[in-house]
Amino acid sequence: MLKDKFVAVGVTGSIAAYKSIQLVRLLKKAGARVQVIMTKSACEFIKPLTFQVISQNPVITDMFEHPVSWEVAHVALADKADVFLVAPATANIIAKMAAGIADDMLTSTLLATKATIVTVPAMNVKMYENAITQRNIKCLRKNGIEVLEPGEGDLACGYSGKGRFPELDDIVAHIKIILGKNSDFKYKKILITAGPTREPIDPVRFITNHSSGKMGYALAEKAIQRGANTILISGPTNLKPPLGLYKYIPIETAEEMFKAVMEHYLDADVIIKSAAVADFSVKHQETEKIKKQGFNMNIELKKNPDILQELGNRKKQQVLIGFAAETTRVVSNAQDKLKRKNLDFIVVNDLAQEGAGFAGDTNIVKILHKDGWVEELPKMLKVDLANEILDRVYSYLPQNRAL
Ligand code: CTP
């Protein structure tokens, strides 16, 4: 997503400037080309040479530059940038940006760029909460400039509260989302289900499975990055919903997942059912905790609705993708599900293989297409597999189908 994209990073005079060094490293690692532009006070905290080494690009500052060369450099940077980060952003730069002041290299470049600007505030909590700063932030947002929410906690100034530089991974994820907005799933609505479902027995016990939700969350993350309006319907997991979701719907039971899916499937372009839905739930759920004394040791189960089957029955324009986890007759079982549930393709885990399945970060799958084509994919990270799956989904979208 970030590969070969040009990210301009404006660094201003906050103690959090040192965190931008790591931020630039992460952007470079993700394949971006980065050029840093520093204000005079930023140079009091960090030497430009540090950013030059990390970004592998000359750093633009106000110091020691011949006017003609910096004039050219800043206009070029304004034009080249795919996205323009101001990180960290002090109350001062936010005020200047809101007022349209251009009295140094950074503010002049910001006024000249057409790239999306993302401002990452980092300052003392009182400065952040000051009504004037808040008014300026509102003004930036009104003018299409993004301002990320700062984190909360201990601040370098000794105070505690809102004003911390946000988590670096969140900033990088946000940039990926912005860049993804121009890409292949723009204007598409993707519905993804993830995680296990949890079927209560009594107020303290439940039936569930080993699904971690990692595959579904990776799919949601990548779908967002590729520009899709993404709805994630998820059973209980330990994962943080990815930034940039159109909607996040947490559910517990298969019945609740069924309802949520049925509410949202109609205008979806793509539905990916990566959730491990419990096939059974308890017929007579106890309202009080079951005591071992006197319990007859039998729990009567009933079948849950098969959500994917129902979607297959109702399917119209939607590209419909299922998952299957098998331990025997892997291909033939999955082929049967593919046909029975009217899917475009099904992604099959062979649970017997090392590196495949629920909890890990990798997966080994086969993809069975409705025309009989069987693809065997090598072991790969779930985040990479998510992109592979979305590449295939893309080719099934109505406008991309071969005639
Ligand atoms: N699925 C679903 N609703 C269910 C059960 C499964 O939507 N009640 C979906 C899963 O999200 C997955 C696919 O169906 O995409 C296959 O799930 P799996 O449990 O492997 O298959 P089942 O149809 O339950 O068949 P079996 O239990 O015979 O393996």
Distance, CA 153 to ligand 1 centroid (Å)? 43
CATH number attached to the domain at 6-179: 3.40.50.1950
Q: How far is the C-alpha of 96 from the C-alpha of 93, rounded, in Å?
A: 5
**Of 23, 21, 27, residue with least CA distance to 42:** 21
Question: Selecting from 3.30.930.10, 3.40.50.10300, 3.40.50.970, 3.20.20.140, what CATH number does the domain 184-400 have?
Answer: 3.40.50.10300
How many Cβ atoms sit within 10 Å of the Cβ of residue 381?
14
- The answer to whether residue 134 scores a pLDDT higher than 90 is yes
Structure tokens at 182: 């121009």
Residues contacting residue 292 through CB under 8 Å, at least 6 positions apart: none
Active site residues: 157
Q: How far is the C-alpha of 146 from the C-alpha of 171, rounded, in Å?
A: 12
**pLDDT tens digits along 310-352:** 999 999 999 999 999 888 899 999 999 999 999 999 999 888 8
Domain assignments of the chain as residue spans, ordered by start: 6-179, 184-400
Same fold: 6-179 with 184-400: yes
Sign of CA dihedral 176, 182, 183, 185: positive
Q: How far is the C-alpha of 114 from the C-alpha of 79, rounded, in Å?
A: 7
Give CA angle at 334 (331, 339), nearest 5°.
120
The answer, yes or no, to whether any atom of ligand 1 lies below 6 A from the CB of 308, is yes
How would residue 234 be classed by pLDDT, with cut points 50, 70 and 90? very high
Atom nearest to 304 CA in ligand 1:
8
Mean pLDDT (the chain, rounded)? 91
Q: How far is the C-alpha of 190 from the C-alpha of 253, rounded, in Å?
A: 21
How many Cβ atoms sit within 10 Å of the Cβ of residue 400?
11
User: Ligand 1 test: best mutation among 208, 209, 273, most atoms within 8 Å of CB?
Assistant: 273
Q: How far is the C-alpha of 277 from the C-alpha of 296, rounded, in Å?
A: 27
pLDDT of residue 371: 93
The answer, yes or no, to whether any atom of ligand 1 lies below 6 A from the CB of 191, is no
User: Ligand 1 test: best mutation among 337, 343, 351, 367, most atoms within 8 Å of CB?
Assistant: 337
Provide the 3-class DSSP secondary structure of residue 87: strand
Provide the 3-class DSSP secondary structure of residue 172: helix
Among the listed ranges 63-77, 128-142, 234-248, which one has the minimum average pLDDT value?
63-77
pTM of this prediction?
0.75
**pLDDT tens digits along 146-174:** 999 998 888 777 777 888 899 999 999 88
